[in-house]
């Protein structure tokens, strides 16, 4: 069990839901100083046409401008497998540094091999800052710190900022359960340990998840508390043990197909959200390895 300090302060949190990927982007701001961070921004991608766009990222920028905020950070919780990161686009627009957890290098090394990129620098240089476990960060006068939360991926982290924790693909809303752990490098036992560390935060800590798949078609939600998760999460309550959780998680994951954008998106996201460089005809291309995930369930 981790023994992290608790940081006082209550940031304003604005969530922006993307129904195409069921993702939630965040702007986290200090109401006193008007400084903010953007978390897990989405770059729009139409897999049918290959077109990219910045509609969702621009929505974040519009909010920042409307609220008179200054962007201090552009943060990612991990390399996403279901959408492109808009981190580089937002860095160009705001000048704010990008950051992710230091274990992103483990994911880079894994996917560098799958994409057969011998010259790809798998050292995290694509971000301006790599957070170590326990590192501090500030948004205005509000102090935050970084928890490593492996399991969904080796690189997954939680940002605890004031009374709020941003857990992305670790916990979902209580009626949605918890994230899968079967991606390359994932591990259900590590995911359990990461969840227990999050649930050791104070009961009223606000938890913000990175996805909502809207069980039973309800309206999108993305905020809960540690107490709510501990008492009502469908994968964690009713006396769940590490053994029963790992068994449930592995059995459930074995029947889940891979996200449809996993192979397109990871080559962008292990590169810090940068699109491939144009080739000599001015066109950018994605590289899709065939039969690289042969054990994955089919739709």
Q: Is 38 domain-assigned? A: yes
**Which DSSP state fits 178?**
B
pLDDT on residue 294: 76
Contact criterion met (CB below 8 Å) for 88 and 274:
yes
What's the confidence (pLDDT) of residue 295? 75
pLDDT confidence bin for 29, thresholds 50/70/90: very high
pLDDT of 297 reads 72
Q: Name which residue leads in pLDDT, 132 or 260.
A: 132
294 domain residue, yes or no: no
pLDDT exceeding 90 applies to what percent of the chain? 89
The model's confidence at residue 3, banded by pLDDT at 50, 70 and 90, is: very low
What is the per-residue pLDDT for 7? 54
Q: Is the pLDDT of residue 143 over 50?
A: yes
How many angstroms from the chain centroid is the CA of residue 162?
19
Q: Are 142 and 28 in contact (CB under 8 A)?
A: no
Q: Where are the alpha helices (DSSP H) in the chain?
A: 55-67, 87-94, 104-114, 188-198, 226-232, 242-254, 262-269
Rounded CA-CA distance 55/183 in Å is 28
In a domain, 6, yes or no: no
59-72 pLDDT, tens digit each: 999 999 999 999 99
The burial class, CB within 10 Å (0-12 / 13-18 / 19+), for 14 is middle
Q: How far apart are CA 30 and CA 14, in angstroms?
A: 12
Assess whether pLDDT exceeds 90 at residue 296.
Answer: no
pLDDT of residue 78: 95
Per-residue model confidence as pLDDT tens digits over 231-288 = 999 999 888 899 999 999 999 999 998 888 999 999 999 999 999 999 999 999 999 9
Q: Is residue 282 part of a domain?
A: no
Inside any domain, residue 29: yes
CA-wise closest residue to 200 among 234, 230, 170: 230
* Mean pLDDT confidence for 81-103: 97
Q: Which domain holds residue 184?
A: 12-269
Count of structural domains within the chain = 1
Rg of the Cα atoms in the chain: 18
Provide mean pLDDT across the span 114-133. Answer: 97
What's the CATH code of the domain at 157? 3.60.15.10
Average pLDDT over residues 214-221: 95
pLDDT exceeds 60 at position 5: no
Residue 262 lies in a domain: yes
pTM (predicted TM-score):
0.94
Place of tokens 């990612």: 76
Summary mean pLDDT of the chain: 94
Alpha-carbon span 13 to 3, nearest angstrom: 25
Q: Say if residue 122's pLDDT is above 60.
A: yes
Assigned domain for 56 exists: yes
Taking the alpha carbons at both ends of the chain, their separation in whole angstroms is 37
The proportion of the chain whose per-residue pLDDT surpasses 70, expressed as a percent, equals 97
pLDDT (0 to 100) of residue 1: 33
Q: Is residue 154 very low, low, confident or very high in pLDDT (cuts 50, 70, 90)?
A: very high
Q: Which of 83-97, 185-199, 218-232, 249-263 has the lowest mean pLDDT?
A: 249-263
Does residue 94 sit within a domain? yes
Nearest to 26 by CA among 17, 36, 15, 34: 15
Q: Token pair of 141, please? A: 């006068």
Q: Compute the half-sphere exposure of residue 98: CA atoms within 13 Å on the CB side of its CA.
A: 26
**Residue 25: which of 273, 260, 211 has the closest Cα?**
211
């Amino acid at each position: 069990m981790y023994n992290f300090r608790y940081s006082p302060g209550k940031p304003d949190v604005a969530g922006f839901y993307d129904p195409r990927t069921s993702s939630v982007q965040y702007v986290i701001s200090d109401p006193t100083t008007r400084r903010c961070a953007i978390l897990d921004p989405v770059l729009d991608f139409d897999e049918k046409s290959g077109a990219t766009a910045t509609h969702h990222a621009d929505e974040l920028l519009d909010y920042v401008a409307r609220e008179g905020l200054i962007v201090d950070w552009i943060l990612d919780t991990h390399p996403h497998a279901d959408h492109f990161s808009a981190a580089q686009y937002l860095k160009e627009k705001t000048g704010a540094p990008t950051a992710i957890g230091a274990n992103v290098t483990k994911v880079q090394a894994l996917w560098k091999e799958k994409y057969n990129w011998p010259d790809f620098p798998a050292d995290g240089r694509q971000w301006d800052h790599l957070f170590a476990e326990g590192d501090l960060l500030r948004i205005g006068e509000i102090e935050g710190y970084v928890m490593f939360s492996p399991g969904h991926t080796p690189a997954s982290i939680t940002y605890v900022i004031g009374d709020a924790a941003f857990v992305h693909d670790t916990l979902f809303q209580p009626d949605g359960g918890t994230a899968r752990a079967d991606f390359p490098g994932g591990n259900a036992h590590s995911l359990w340990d990461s969840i227990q560390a999050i649930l050791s935060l104070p009961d009223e800590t606000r938890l913000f998840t990175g996805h909502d798949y809207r069980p039973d078609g309800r309206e999108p939600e993305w905020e809960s508390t540690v107490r709510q998760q501990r008492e009502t999460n469908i994968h964690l309550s009713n006396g769940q043990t590490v053994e029963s959780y790992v068994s449930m998680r592995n059995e459930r994951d074995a029947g889940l197909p891979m996200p449809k954008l996993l192979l397109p998106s990871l080559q962008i996201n292990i590169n810090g959200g940068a699109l491939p460089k144009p080739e000599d005809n001015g066109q950018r291309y994605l590289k899709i390895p065939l039969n690289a995930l042969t054990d994955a369930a089919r739709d």
